[in-house]
Amino acid sequence: MPHLAGYPVVSEVPVRWGDMDALAHVNHAVYLRYFEAARIEYFERMGMGHPGPEWREYGFVIASLRCRYRAPVTYPDTLAVGVRVAAWGRDRLVMRYEAYSRALERVAAEAETLLVAYDFKNARPVSIRPEQREAILVLEGREPDPLPRRRSSEV
């Protein structure tokens, strides 16, 4: 799909009847699940395996999320959800998403998450593992932009 050409992982997500709300379009919160499905597929393609016990020791947690809704989606439809790593730092990365509606033939929503590499056993952020950095470089085919340095008050 030309519109999502900059996204190394594109997940096909069918819109379910139950995804709609009383206003007869996909509820805003449901998009977070669509983006999560694409993010999990990205992590699996990085070689992190399926979510399971090993993810309870080390993984990524979402520190922040923002989403912009551009067009109302209704059932039936299929969304092509692109995901990529736009920027990274020592222990965090920014993932960007686009949800493209096949029925509307346009972007229905865009989002961005800030994820932090996390040691769940010790309850603290840790550096992104070298093998994961390498897997991101392979998937992206480029080096993500560097994240600006954080202020001490930021997560």
83-118 in b/e burial notation, b at 16+ Cβ within 10 A? bbbbbbbebbbbbbbbbbbbeeeebbbbbbbbbbbb
User: Is residue 153 a part of any domain in this protein?
Assistant: no
| Predicted confidence band of residue 154 (pLDDT cuts 50, 70, 90) | low
- 70-88 pLDDT tens trace: 999 999 999 999 999 999 9
User: Is residue 31 a part of any domain in this protein?
Assistant: yes
Give the pTM.
0.91
User: Is residue 151 a part of any domain in this protein?
Assistant: no
**Containing domain of residue 132, as a range?**
2-143
Tell me if residue 112 falls in helix, strand or coil: strand
Q: How far apart are the first and last CA of the chain?
A: 36
User: Is residue 60 a part of any domain in this protein?
Assistant: yes
Domain total for the chain?
1
